[in-house]
Structure formats: C-alpha cells, structure tokens
Structure 1
C-alpha cells in the first residue's frame, strides 16, 4: 500500500508498505477520506504535541471502511463506514477514570505518535472508531473530529440563546463554530478573519456580521456593534496573532471565552481583562465526548461541510495538497486526501 511519512523536519515522502493486519482488539480499515489539519502541517514543519514519535504517517481526520476484524472485536462490523477518534489511552490512570482520557498519563495519538490516515489501510483499536450512518457523507465523516473539537470547547461554557457571540478565525474550526452557535440557538454571531472568501463562507453558514481584521480593528468593530457591551460568548479559533487579547478585550462583563487554537509560540495577555471583567476562560483541544452529538447534527442538517471542505486530492498528489494548505492557495479552507 501507499503511505505518506514525515520526519518532522519539513520533509514528507511516499513509501510502499505491506498492508497491516489487525492484532487482538484492532480493526483493519480502508481509508476513504482524510482531512489535512493545520496540526498536520505543524507536525511536518517541526511542531506537534510533546508525545509525538517520528517518523510517522500523519492524519487524524479520518473516514474509513472496516475490512477485517481482529480477535475479540464484535463491533464495528465489516463493511461499516467509521469515523476515527485518534486517542489511545490506558483506561486506568486518574485522568482516564475521570473521563479525561485525552489527558492520559500514557497518551498516544494516531497521526502523531502512531501512524495515521495518510495511507491506504490502517489497523487501529476498535474503540477509536465510531460507525456513521448512510446519511453522513465521507467528507462530513472526516470532519467530525474538527467540528467535535469546537463543540467540546463550547460545551465547557454556558451558552444562552440570548447571547451575542463572536468567532475569531474563519478556518474549519471557526466555520463549524458559527454553525454550532446557531444550532445552540444563538442568532447573533460575529465572525472575524483576514480572508474575504472565508468570511463569505461564514456569512453563508450563519454569521450575521463579518469583520476583515486587515481592514478594520476587530475590537473597535465588535464594541461598536454591541453598543460598547461586548459579547457574552467568544470562541477563539485562529491560533495566531493577537487573537487571545482580542478575545479578552471584546468579551462582556462576566463573559465567557473558549480558546481552541493551538499557537506556535507563547503570547502576552493583560490579566486585568480577566480579573476586572470576571471572565470565564476555558481551553479545548479535543473532540472528546462530542463525536456522537456532531454525527447527529450532520444527520439533522444543522452542520454542513459546504464552504469548508473546498479541495480534494488523490493521495498520490499529497505534495500539491500539502502546499495548497500550507500556502493557502486557491481559496482553500479544508483540503481532503482520497487514498
């Protein structure tokens, strides 16, 4: 089979490998679609979580089809289409016992410390796979992880239908954030970003107001829009620039801020914004406990990948795909590889 490998030093290459066989508790799947996440580009270029293990096959936004079961596996079934949730965990440490398996003492992650989805076949633990209904497409299924990452962070705060909300960053996480806020009943959503085509996608997906931060100061624009009050809910989804400070500045008194972006370096903030306004600030970086809800939202039509998945490439064209994402060419938001 074909597999794409990186050494985390800016290089990636194709290898021909034997198709894996599932061990006990594992399932062999054929990859149908795998999204190129910004964290994949970061991994290739030298970033990634502290538990990464290189060289590795990237890719954790996976839709696949079950082709063989290992010993002791009853579910899923051969022929099922499945979505991947990439964490491998011990199940016995304190974090796992409390349901925070993504903070396991012995955490491993498919696509970072174990080979991921930039290949034709993969053998993975059965518990990492969730069957998906026929009404959910391959492209939607491979974006369950992205949408669920945003939802996991948003589930850590209280959102009211009367809130005014801002989403900072119109990438995949932010565009799902706009839709998720609307699904939660919020009907006044502001979206900020730098690229007109992404902001237009946000308008199509439910944003009431969009702000191009290259043309307008986002803090001034949001405060003017809210008559100086600020927003009750701010979802940061950019992971770049001064967006954390912007989040704190535009939040209303006793407002709530959910940070979902992963930054390439530390940032300075003014803690007085948190203290004096009594803000609630939470982080979220996983799809944990949100996968089933996202599947239901896709089934109901409350979520779509329209305007988010903008490009598809065969696996053989991975170099062009990675460069398209890295350099944000051709209006790309999310690119998907099709092994």
Structure 2
C-alpha cells in the first residue's frame, strides 16, 4: 500500500508499505479522505505538544471505509463509513501514533464513529474541525435566531463556526481580510462578511448599536482577542477558540465587568463527536468550500506543500480509493 510518511524532521515521502494486520479488537480502515492541517506541518518540522518519533504517518482529520474487523469487534462491519477520534488517552492519532494518510490503517473499535450516507467522504474528514466549532458554540449556550454572532477569522475553524452558527439560526457576521476566505464564508451561510477595519461600522448598523450577542474569536491573535471584548454587547457571550501560547496584547478588561460579559474558552471537542455527526447529518451541513486543494495519494507531497500556503488554501485533502 502507499502511505504518506514523515520520515525525519522536514522530510516527507510517499512510501510503499505492507498492509497492516489487525488484532481481535481492531479494525482495518481504507482511507477515503484525509485533511492536512497546520498541526501536521508542525509535526513535520519537529514540533508537537506531546512526544513523538519518526517515521510517522500523519492524518488525524479523516474519513474511511471499514475493510476488515477483528473477532471481538461488534459495532462495525465491512463497508461501514467511519471517522475517528484524534485524542486517545495519552496518545494523539496521527501524531504520537501513526494516522490515516495511508491507503489502509488500523484503529481500535472504541476510537470509531459511524457516519451516515448523507455525509460525504470530504465532509467526513471535516468532522474533527467542525466538532471544535460545535463544541465551542455549545459551551456558549443557546445560540439561536435572536442572536447576532460575530466570527473573528475565516480559517477552517472560523468557517466551521460560520456554518454551525447559520444552522442554529444566528445572524452571522464574519470578519476576515482575505478575499477567497471571505468568499468561502459567504458560501457557508454568513449573512455579512467584512474586513477588520469595517466591522465596527457594520456591526453598529446590523445591531442598531447594541453590539454582538455572541463573539467567537478564531484567530488566536492576542490583538484580535482583545477586540472581541469591544464588539460584544451588554450581557454578550464571548468564546475563545483560536489558540495562542505566550503572546500578549493590551485589552480593555474593564469591559468584562461593565458589559457583564460571559466568557468561555475551549480546546478540542471532548465527548461531542456523536452529537456533532448527528448535527451535521440532520442539518445537511456541507463544508466543501473549505476544501480548496485535492490530491491523490501519489500527489500527497503536494498536499503537504499546499497546507504550508495558508494565503492560497484553506484545507488540502488527500483522496484515496483503494480496496481489498
């Protein structure tokens, strides 16, 4: 089988490997779509939040088809369409243990979730980032059609928030300076899209001066995180999901008290994958505008390169069609 391997720091190759054998409690999956994200690039460059070693097969955003099941597997059968958890105890799938960027790979039964037929392979491979957005909005609480919701940043997570917020009925404003990301925000249901220098005027007009009921910060930039407090209206809810480590910026912290703001922070999507899949299926969420570059396994190095050009791409997918 063919697999994308990170063989050493800064070195990625498409290699020919043996199809793995499975144990009694394991499942053999044929990959169908695998996303390459910024975390994968950090892994390739020798950085990650937990220990790992090369060679490693990346791929933590994926969808696949069950090929074989072990004798003790009871919840899955050949032909099932599935996605899988990224964080598995102390390990991270696709980081500290090899992931899905191969024609075939092995998982435990307990890591898997079925997806229904109306979730495509590419949308299935976006369950992981969408679950982050869904979890953040559930922590905000009661997002509905009475809300004006501002999304700061139209990267993959910000765009997933846009789709989820629209499905929940909120009037959604996306703030993003890059044209092709603005276009994707419109395609995913944003009611208004504007640049950072326009948001205060746009929000004042849309909200009739009240400010936003909900602000979701998805850039991880401290200066933008500070702006979120300014955009929120009285008794607004502010959600931080963009990740920053160690940077700082001036912020009007008194606004938290004077506006009686509720602030939530979230990371990942613990315990909500089944809910996320039901939500995507029931609302017919289509995240295909996020996928701006597609590659075969033979072209997988191109996907790695595309993921390193965020000013040109939102999400690069590797698509597979191998079967046994």
The normalised TM-score by structure 2 is 0.89
Q: Kindly tell me: are residues 69 and 169 of structure 1, through their superposed partners in 2, closer, same or farther at Cα, counting changes over 3 Å?
A: same
Alignment correspondent of 1:268 = 249
1:18-42 Cα deviation digits (max 9, x unpaired)? 2222224221111111011222223
Alignment correspondent of 1:41 = 41
Q: Is the 2:14–2:301 Cα contact (8 Å) retained in structure 1?
A: no
The count of residues paired between Structure 1 and Structure 2 equals: 317
Alignment correspondent of 1:313 = 295
Matched, 1:164 2:148: yes
Instruction: Report how far residue 173 of structure 1 moved.
Output: 1.5
Range with greater deviation from structure 2 (302-311 or 162-171): 302-311
Instruction: Report how far residue 176 of structure 1 moved.
Output: 1.8
Q: Superposition pairs for residues 1-339 of structure 1, below 5 Å?
A: 1-6=1-6, 9-49=9-49, 51-55=50-54, 56-89=56-89, 107-158=90-141, 159-186=143-170, 188-213=171-196, 216=197, 218-219=199-200, 221-223=202-204, 225-240=206-221, 242-263=223-244, 265-270=246-251, 271-328=253-310, 331-339=312-320
Instruction: Report how far residue 337 of structure 1 moved.
Output: 0.4
Distance (Å, rounded) in 2 between the aligned partners of 1:11 and 1:272: 48
Structure 2's unaligned 5+ residue stretches are none
Q: Kindly tell me: are residues 35 and 321 of structure 1, through their superposed partners in 2, closer, same or farther at Cα, counting changes over 3 Å?
A: same
Structure 1's unaligned 5+ residue stretches are 90-106
Q: Kindly tell me: are residues 72 and 235 of structure 1, through their superposed partners in 2, closer, same or farther at Cα, counting changes over 3 Å?
A: same
Distance (Å, rounded) in 1 between the aligned partners of 2:53 and 2:250: 33
Distance (Å, rounded) in 2 between the aligned partners of 1:64 and 1:126: 13
Range with greater deviation from structure 2 (76-85 or 282-291): 282-291
Distance (Å, rounded) in 2 between the aligned partners of 1:203 and 1:153: 21
Query: Cα RMSD (Å) of the superposition?
Result: 2.2
Instruction: Report how far residue 238 of structure 1 moved.
Output: 2.1
Instruction: Report how far residue 318 of structure 1 moved.
Output: 1.9
Distance (Å, rounded) in 1 between the aligned partners of 2:87 and 2:94: 10
Moved over 4 A (4+): none
Q: Is the 1:6–1:54 Cα contact (8 Å) retained in structure 2?
A: no
Instruction: Report how far residue 225 of structure 1 moved.
Output: 4.3
Distance (Å, rounded) in 2 between the aligned partners of 1:122 and 1:251: 45
Q: Kindly tell me: are residues 283 and 112 of structure 1, through their superposed partners in 2, closer, same or farther at Cα, counting changes over 3 Å?
A: farther
Instruction: Report how far residue 7 of structure 1 moved.
Output: 6.2
Instruction: Report how far residue 8 of structure 1 moved.
Output: 7.4
Distance (Å, rounded) in 1 between the aligned partners of 2:234 and 2:47: 36
